[in-house]
Amino acid sequence: MSNQTDQDKVQTNQAVSKAVVITFLVMIISTLCFWYYHDIITWFPSHIHAWTQSDRLALAYGFLENGFDFFTPRTYNLYTADGITGVDFPIHEYLVAILMKIFGTNEPFIFRAYTLGYSLVGYAFLYLLARKITGRDIVAAVVVLFAFTAPILTYYQAGFIPSSTSLASSFIGFYFFFRFREGQKYVHLYWAIGLLTLAVLPRASVNIVLFAVLLVEVIRWWKDRKIDKKALVAFVIAYAIIAASLMYKNHLSSEYGTRFLASLMPASDVTHLMDILKESWSRWQLQLLTKYHWLLLGISGIASGIALLKGKLKTLDKEVLLISLLLFGGSVIFFLALARQLIAHEYYFMDSLYPAIILLLIPGLGIIGNSSGLGKVIWPLIFGGLLIGAAIDSKAVQDEKYAQTEWDRGEVTRKNFTGSDIFLDGLGIPRDAKILVFEAYSTNAPLLLMGRRGYTILNSREENIKRALQLDYDYIVVQDAYFPSDLIYQAPWIVYAFHRIGGNGRISIYTYHKDRVPGMPYPVQRSIPGLLGLNIPEFQKRLVLTEDSVTNKIVSDSSTFSMIDVTHRMTREMEFGGALVVPLAELNGADRLLIDLSFDNSGSEELRDVEPEFDVVLSIESPSGQKQYYKSFRVKRRNSNVAFYGYTCLFDIPYFEENDLTLKCYIWNRFKQELEINALDFKAYKSKYVFN
């Protein structure tokens, strides 16, 4: 009776301990979710890889609008026939569309909440997996928090890319696979293979995971000298489904086209590969894992290594490490096949390295977690401290990824097009009108925000502009900020051919009249303000550019734009030139600054073969010299056959309460080239639009 009572007490204590750990884990995860996602959970795809994420949102919208026809996935981009596109099995986008239908809204919140919810289910099974392997609830909680706070996972597990949901499916599949390995119940194997297949279908690269499990089973068959026919049939069915899905994707790509990656992108040679490897490690090492994660992983790895050398690893631990090793091997092959992608697309690590790292972590933590004596008290404190540091560092990475940067034109584009659907409605542009967007910086984001299908031009070279203008569209939309510097600079003749029908200060809508293109190669520059909806300037100045002056001096207020006789020669040693320095108050509340300049490389023999490349910079500074605002445009030679260039760029001037700020605008010869600047004119305008 006494033994039975003691056993009951042990079981009761274990149950209480388990309940306490799970309760605290749920509380911590809930707190982290609020901390990480309380503001971004409702956001349209933004910042890092918003392009790819908005493509996924477009697929969900496509299902919502095509009557939930799963077999004709489409986006808003009409470069593929009717927007239909070849894409890996879009089951998650389809389910998101169903949820949008149920809740009566297509807000991005639905997609983000779905991905986060699915990821949390995956973490629940990761907890069960780690507990099964280690026998310790607190170790399982550490494993889950390790994964949840890994910066790349933290960023994407409330986003739109299916790598997050595939990783969650992998966790669930691993749990059932190790249940099969422990109890040899085939229902568990079938669940494992089914869920791992579900992980592979939307992300073909996750085949690394399914194939690793297959290899483990093949090793078992080899040891048993017998093929497990039930398991073999299950794997054959899984790969038949995957093959059928890939064939159908290729059929759609061939029939309609695709806007998704459809080919491998290896390095060109060994030197290129090593450069990519070095750059990738430098860029991603502390986003893949924080320094606290790396330390925790190192401690776990040492514990596993010592146990392995002493022959004290359990069979289940060995199998976990074997799969981890196979996954690392698959990751190497994956890296070789897609090296050029990995340098800029960190989310591929979710398909490859993360499953290997997380499985590698578990056995070592289990060994440490089962220590006795003083170690039983110390190790939870150490791991807790490391996880707190990891969570804080991960938040810092999230803040960095969501930070507004001057170079992030994709985020600028999102802001410029936000609310454009209602604005176009107000102009009487129907929802079924086809829109041609220049300087779109994404294949779908501007179209989604306008609520209209169409075409996006990502690189506005003159030949691309000419081809785009032959497409079947109704209206042209261009962001004001990039219209003069990117579009007119590449194709000056469009000033005559575009007719502005409206704008909201961020974007302008045009129609194209090809019969208005004149024979002259360059437009008069005074027509550019009209195409931007700008009227009478509040401020205008011209600089006399001299050989010996970097700061230069301001002269007449002339409204004419005839070229001045003085040419400003910038040598390689001159880093800055052509500077306008005025109190911000002198602009009389203007919020737009239009800068016209002309430059050439034909004035002297040594400049004729030079490719001019420099920055036009706007900076607003406090009396102490601290930058309150900074933006620049990169100027490159447009055509090798043309020596003389006119260039115009438009800066937005933000509003400041302070009245002692200074506006500076100048040429930055950052690449130390020989330049000849012929003219610099500044006009500041006050727009009728007010933005937050």
Run of H or E residues at 39: none
| pLDDT given for residue 14 in this prediction | 66
**How far from chain centre, in Å, is Cα 581?**
37
- The yes-or-no verdict on residue 294 having pLDDT over 80 is yes
Cα separation, 444 vs 450, whole angstroms: 10
Beta carbons within 10 angstroms of residue 257's beta carbon: 17
- Return all residues near 427 (Cβ < 8 A) that are at least 6 apart: 501, 502, 509
Parallel, antiparallel, or unpaired for β 435-438 and 454-457? parallel
| pLDDT given for residue 562 in this prediction | 33
Which of 13-22, 99-108, 165-174 shows the lowest mean pLDDT across its residues?
Answer: 13-22
DSSP string across 646-657: EEEEEEE----S
Indicate the pLDDT class of residue 620, thresholds 50, 70 and 90: very high
- Return all residues near 415 (Cβ < 8 A) that are at least 6 apart: 506
Which residues make beta-bridge pairs with 648? 596
| pLDDT given for residue 429 in this prediction | 97
Which of 115-129, 217-231, 269-283 shows the lowest mean pLDDT across its residues?
Answer: 269-283
Query: How high does pLDDT run on average in the chain?
Result: 87
- The yes-or-no verdict on residue 558 having pLDDT over 90 is no
User: Which residue's entry shows tokens 């497409």?
Assistant: 471
The tens digit of pLDDT for each residue in 314-350 reads 989 999 999 999 999 999 998 888 888 888 888 899 9
Q: Which of 142-156, 570-584, 642-656, 678-692 has maximum average pLDDT?
A: 142-156
Residues 463, 490 contacting (CB under 8 angstroms): no
Task: Find, among 202, 385, 377, the residue nearest to 291 by Cα.
Answer: 385
| pLDDT given for residue 371 in this prediction | 78
Q: Which of 256-265, 559-568, 587-596 has maximum average pLDDT?
A: 587-596
The mean per-residue pLDDT over the stretch 117-130 comes to: 98
Question: Domain-by-domain residue ranges, the chain?
Answer: 15-401, 409-531, 539-685
Which two three-digit tokens encode residue 344?
Answer: 């800029």
Residues 171, 123 contacting (CB under 8 angstroms): yes
Residue, of 72 and 676, whose pLDDT is higher: 72
Which residues make beta-bridge pairs with 595? 649, 682
| pLDDT given for residue 677 in this prediction | 76
Residues 303, 379 contacting (CB under 8 angstroms): no
- pTM score of the predicted model: 0.89
539-685 belongs to which CATH class? Answer: mainly beta
Which of 215-219, 230-234, 530-534, 570-574 shows the lowest mean pLDDT across its residues?
Answer: 570-574
Residue 449's Cβ-count burial label (10 Å; 0-12, 13-18, 19+) is: buried
Type of residue numbered 324: S
Residue, of 646 and 521, whose pLDDT is higher: 646
Of the chain, the percentage scoring pLDDT greater than 90 comes to: 62
Indicate the pLDDT class of residue 672, thresholds 50, 70 and 90: confident
- The yes-or-no verdict on residue 602 having pLDDT over 70 is no
The mean per-residue pLDDT over the stretch 84-107 comes to: 97
The mean per-residue pLDDT over the stretch 542-570 comes to: 45
| pLDDT given for residue 691 in this prediction | 47
| pLDDT given for residue 517 in this prediction | 58
Residues 175, 129 contacting (CB under 8 angstroms): yes
Task: Find, among 122, 115, 409, 88, the residue nearest to 248 by Cα.
Answer: 88
Task: Find, among 593, 572, 580, 568, the residue nearest to 673 by Cα.
Answer: 572
Residues 163, 203 contacting (CB under 8 angstroms): yes
The mean per-residue pLDDT over the stretch 52-80 comes to: 96
| pLDDT given for residue 603 in this prediction | 45
Residues 491, 465 contacting (CB under 8 angstroms): yes
Residues 490, 638 contacting (CB under 8 angstroms): yes
- The yes-or-no verdict on residue 292 having pLDDT over 90 is yes
Indicate the pLDDT class of residue 265, thresholds 50, 70 and 90: confident
Indicate the pLDDT class of residue 95, thresholds 50, 70 and 90: very high
- Return all residues near 583 (Cβ < 8 A) that are at least 6 apart: 660, 661, 662, 663
| pLDDT given for residue 554 in this prediction | 36
The tens digit of pLDDT for each residue in 300-314 reads 999 999 999 998 899
The tens digit of pLDDT for each residue in 357-399 reads 999 999 999 999 887 777 778 898 999 999 999 999 999 999 9
Indicate the pLDDT class of residue 598, thresholds 50, 70 and 90: confident
The tens digit of pLDDT for each residue in 392-429 reads 999 999 999 998 777 788 899 999 999 999 999 999 99
Task: Find, among 520, 600, 591, 529, the residue nearest to 559 by Cα.
Answer: 529
